[in-house]
Amino acid sequence: MQEIPARAGGAVPPAETEAALPRLGREHLRVLGLSTLGGALEFYEFIIFIYLAPVLSAVMFPAEVPAWIRQLQTLGIFAAGYLIRPFGGILLSMLGDRVGRKRIFAVSLILMAAPTFAIGLLPGYAQVGVAAPLLLLLLRMCQGLAMGGELPIALTFIAEHVPTRRLGLATGSLGAAFTVGSLAGLLAVIGVSTAFPGAALQEFGWRLPFIAGGVFGFLSAYLRRYVSETPVFEEMRQRKQLSQAMPFRTLFRRYPVEVVLCLLASASTAGVLASAALYPMTYLQVELGFARAVVNQAQLWLLASMLAGTLAGGYLIDVLGWFKATGMFAAILLAGLLFTYVAPDPATLRYGFAIIGFGTGLTPMMYNLLVRSFTAPVRVTGIALTYNVAQALVGGLLPVLMASLAHFDRWAMIYVPAALGLLAAAIAPAAARYRKPIGFGAGPD
């Protein structure tokens, strides 16, 4: 892999852009496609669990318990999967750094698919009593353990296969897969809700999206058999540079600044998604009284524009560098927030959400920063630690904080995600100073 000298902010001069951006070959595209399947399944499962939570709460808990308590218990089970993610990330990432990316790559997807499939087969409270919610909790925690390792390994697998100068577009493709999974989950919920109205949804229809997700995961894990181990890991093996000590020991001893920067970047982008894309679905209905149909339509626009934004953001990172690209998308995000919340209007909500969704194109910067901040022997471990801790704390807790803030101060819907977007842009130039080579070249780019 030829290394290109680093430039300030990671940018490449326009005259060099075409030469510096090699084409992605057929093998690169195959690796990208198979690497993004797990991320798509993760967000698919996220959406179907959230949207089917009212049905799950009715099936898995006793009818005499008030509906709002059942709903709270179901969401608590969902949150448990987030809280356990760092532990799964620690375990799978250490194995990924020591025994190989490919081996753990297939295992993480099977561990995610199996509990998703099993949830679709669970008996309800009427059949097995208190065992029903306990089994749901156990399966959700198994999902969380697997999810903790999936993205770090997928990012590493992509980064160690594709040309370094196409890393932005490649990691942007992973972000796009998350959006595709979210769209698929939303469409699956709409489909079963339409096909199984009323009691039929609670009796049987809710199971189908989980079963379908599990089948998709098993097929994806099978297809991953046909990808090769990354060239970087093979070279590490040949050089006998595989981590012999605990990777965490090396991580904190050699890369403390990088750990902090990656935590901040992961927290800021997780916060943008939680405050600008996730919580507003509740805020608009509960606080502003918007009709569910209006909000659902706006969310479809949001997801479609997020798909375009992450791909565009990844490409522009390759062309312009981290700072310029991230700053541009942070400005787009701010424009969308102002358009949507200064004078909220159901008639124009979808347009504001489309702008906000495109503004989330700043997230590929975080993926790039994660894979470029750590050398190959501890790369998966470094990504897993920083990403999963940020997701567990910020992604899990910020929606609750937003509910409190926005109830008393509606401007929080603007200044919280805007501040987090600006933080992401501000981290980019600082992080560029600490970039590491993907392989064993002399330079960071």
The torsion defined by the Cα of 409, 413, 419 and 424, in degrees rounded to 10, comes to 150
Q: Give me the residue spans of the domains in the chain.
A: 26-242, 245-438
104 confidence band (pLDDT: 50, 70, 90): confident
The DSSP line for 62-105 is: -TTS-HHHHHHHHHHHHHHHHHTHHHHHHHHHHHHHHT-HHHHH
For 128, residues 6+ apart whose C-beta sits below 8 A from its C-beta are: 135
Cβ distance 283 to 410 under 8 Å? no
| Right CATH for 245-438 from 1.10.287.130, 1.20.1080.10, 1.20.1250.20, 3.40.920.10 | 1.20.1250.20
Q: What percent of the chain has pLDDT above 90?
A: 39
pLDDT at 213 over 90: yes
Measured distance CA(208)–CA(48) in Å, rounded: 10
- The per-residue pLDDT for 441 is 52
User: Residue 11's pLDDT is what?
Assistant: 45
Mean pLDDT of 337-355: 95
The 3-state DSSP class for residue 356 equals: helix
**Residue 109: exposure state from Cβ atoms within 10 A (0-12, 13-18, ≥19):** buried
Whether 26-242 and 245-438 share one fold: the answer is: yes
What's residue 134's pLDDT?
96
The residues, any chain, with a CB within 8 Å of residue 197's CB and separated by 6 or more, are none
- In the DSSP assignment, the letter for residue 228 is P
Q: Which residues contact 408 (CB under 8 A, 6 or more apart)?
A: none
CB 332 within 8 A of CB 361: yes
pLDDT greater than 70 at residue 2 = no
Output the pLDDT for position 10. 45
Nearest to 277, CA basis, from 80, 75, 422, 420: 420
d(CA 117, CA 431): 40
At 316-330, the pLDDT tens digits run 999 998 889 999 999
Region 293-308 average pLDDT: 90
Closest by CA to 230, choosing from 376, 372, 29, 385, is: 376
CA angle 301, 305, 307 (to 5 degrees): 120
Token representation of residue 435 = 């970039």
Fold of 26-242: Growth Hormone; Chain: A; (1.20.1250)
Contact status, residue 278 vs residue 357, Cβ threshold 8 Å: no
Report the candidate in 186, 180, 193 with the shortest Cα–Cα distance to residue 297. Answer: 186
Tell me what pLDDT residue 442 has: 42
Mean pLDDT of 274-296: 85
Quote the pTM value.
0.84
